Structure 1
């Protein structure tokens, strides 16, 4: 079950790296604006906020990857560290997805995309 948790946490990390790219590097691109349902004018005004928010997603992905690496390549005594890092990263991802879903019902699809893999990773860790 730990391997399943690592795979799911890795998928969650990849999703959050992709979100980082959208928010921090391509916020004003028409395809990104279509994903987030924003206009060119709004995207330009909110670009600094999106840039900052994108980095939060990147940092969560990095924490998850470090947790996976510690668990995969560390000793048995590092299992607690790995579990704590993955719980912290994936728990924050799930919490952010819940905030997104409850703040704007039109963003439910994005919240599901953002939150399912980390939620399943946490569940797999709890069952392992």
Structure 2
């Protein structure tokens, strides 16, 4: 079970690093605008907000990766950080979909794997 939790947490972290890159560095690129459903004008006007939001996603990934790194040596700290990172990712996805139900696909993309990691971690420890 630990291997599955570790893989899910790592996938969640990598997904959020990818989101970080899209939001912080590629926000106005045509492919990124298509992914997020923004016009060129809307992307340009929200560029600074997206840049900041991208870093939130990066920090969640970092917390999760540090938890994965600590887990073998300091299990309690590792599990706590994994839960903090993946739990925040899952909660952010929940906020996204409760604010706008049309964002269900995006919420599932960013939140399903972290939510699975949280559930498995809670049932395991």
Normalising by the smaller structure, the TM-score range is over 0.9
The match for 1:48 is: 48
Shift of 1:85: 0.1
The alignment covers a number of residue pairs equal to 124
Shift of 1:127: 2.3
Q: Report whether the alignment pairs 1:62 with 2:38.
A: no
> How far apart, in 2, do the equivalents of 1:111 and 1:90 lie?
14
The match for 1:5 is: 5
What are the superposed Cα offsets for residues 65-117 of structure 1, whole Å, 9 maximum, x if unpaired?
A: 00001113x1xxx1100010011001100110001111112211010010111
Moved over 3 A (4+): none
* RCO higher in structure (CA 8 A, sep ≥6): 1
2:96 to 92, 95, 100: 100
Gap runs ≥5 in structure 1: none
1:87 to 80, 83, 89: 83
Q: Report whether the alignment pairs 1:111 with 2:104.
A: no
Aligned-residue CA RMSD in angstroms?
0.8
> How far apart, in 2, do the equivalents of 1:62 and 1:89 lie?
8
Gap runs ≥5 in structure 2: none
